[in-house]
Amino acid sequence: MDKKPRGSGPLSGVRVIDLTSMVFGPYATQIMADMGADVIKVEPPSGDATRYISVGPTPDLAGVFVNVNRGKRSIVLDLQSDDGKAGLRALLEQADVFIHSMRSKAIAKLGFDYDSVAKLNPSIVYTNCYGYGREGPERDQPAYDDTIQAECGLTAVQQMLTGEANYVGTIVADKVAGLTALYATTMALFHRERTGEGQEVEIGMFETMASFMLVEHANGAMFDPPLGPAHYPRVVAANRKPYRTKDSHVSALIYNDKHWALFVEAVKPAWADAGMATLNERARQIDRIYGLLAETFLERTTAEWLDLLRRLGIPAAPLRTPDELFDNPHLNAVGFFETVDSPRGKIRFPGVPTTFSATPGKVHGPAPELGEHTRQIRDEFGLNAADHAKTGSDK
């Protein structure tokens, strides 16, 4: 079967077989779909569980699912049946990428470990999305965003910052791991483009988040012998928070020497002294500095501070809610949101945040209903009805 580009974008012509669920893997493949790849989402008869976890136009089209599965095609395959396995093998024979989020023992038991798939398609890029890497003692443990936030040190630094162990208010581990899966897979595709060689790729959510956290928090602990604890003091300072103003809050970072001098000259706070003149001096007393700034910010309104700080070129922003982003003047001016028609009505998606001068991506369509493309994909791949007698939906 000839491969035909399905959408515009730098991945146009790439076919991805997506056996992931929840957010980690689907976020990676959502971006692939936005970039023009033909992403075929393989679902069990019950569907990806994320279909049911939040509000949506129907019970099986929850908002989270709709966003991270947009532009994909859905086929239902019961991989517990011989017919379902035969269907997946047929898809993999004609794929560029296979990405899954099953545990290593489970995918091997089904017969779709890397060695088995590479026999069908030696040039395939095979991406494993795991909670923990296969070489470690935790490899068989289940992993979710909350548990990985705890294990990677994120909740501990939140405790340093706020005095209480907390998760952050977004599923950061899932999304960072998803982005890592994306770049790892596309790097492997780049290697294949140059050499023709497929390969196996592995992303562990725990390892990914440990790497992510230790970018700045490794700090003095990297050295032998250690020169300090494994945390970056500025970002865990108790007074590091948006500044309360006369009427609301403002976020500002008066940090480098240029911005500090401009602020002190314009505001003339009584507490500023020569011992705060350099970044090194301020870094040694950063929590105290944040506390003093907090007292000063109470003296003016948010609008007054934003006007002053922006005139000085100091980074500053108001606090916005997620709802307010949908009416944000900047996002609307750059065409960030994309409205897509679906059988359930119009959907306003947060669009592609990157631009390409020659191969721009876009939202290529709504998320599929469960098994929506089963018949279409069956015909496209030359599968007969018997191959799908036990696969569930036959739309």
Q: Are 316 and 245 in contact (CB under 8 A)?
A: no
Cα separation values, 16 from 3, 11, 97, 304, Å: 12, 10, 5, 51
Q: Are 129 and 180 in contact (CB under 8 A)?
A: no
pLDDT of residue 214: 97
Task: Give the confidence band of 379 by pLDDT, cuts at 50, 70, 90.
Answer: very high
d(CA 31, CA 354): 10
Whether the pLDDT of residue 389 is over 50: the answer is no
Task: Give the confidence band of 144 by pLDDT, cuts at 50, 70, 90.
Answer: very high
Helix and strand totals (H; E) in the chain? 16, 11
Q: What is the pTM of this model?
A: 0.93
**Domains with residue ranges and CATH for the chain:** 15-212+335-388 (3.40.50.10540), 243-318 (no CATH)
Whether the pLDDT of residue 215 is over 90: the answer is yes
Whether the pLDDT of residue 3 is over 80: the answer is no
Q: Are 173 and 147 in contact (CB under 8 A)?
A: no
pLDDT of residue 383: 82
Task: Give the confidence band of 8 by pLDDT, cuts at 50, 70, 90.
Answer: confident
Whether the pLDDT of residue 1 is over 50: the answer is no
| Percent of the chain at pLDDT exceeding 90 | 94
Whether the pLDDT of residue 2 is over 50: the answer is no
d(CA 113, CA 107): 6
d(CA 190, CA 184): 10
For residue range 278-302, what is the model confidence (pLDDT) as tens digits? 999 999 999 999 999 999 999 999 9
Average confidence (pLDDT) over 70-79: 98
Whether the pLDDT of residue 123 is over 60: the answer is yes
Average confidence (pLDDT) over 8-16: 95
Reading the block at residue 297, the tokens are 């910010």
pLDDT of residue 390: 44
In the predicted model, what is the mean pLDDT of the chain? 94
Whether the pLDDT of residue 391 is over 70: the answer is no
Whether the pLDDT of residue 80 is over 80: the answer is yes
Task: Give the confidence band of 5 by pLDDT, cuts at 50, 70, 90.
Answer: low
For residue range 43-66, what is the model confidence (pLDDT) as tens digits? 999 999 999 999 999 999 999 999
pLDDT of residue 395: 57
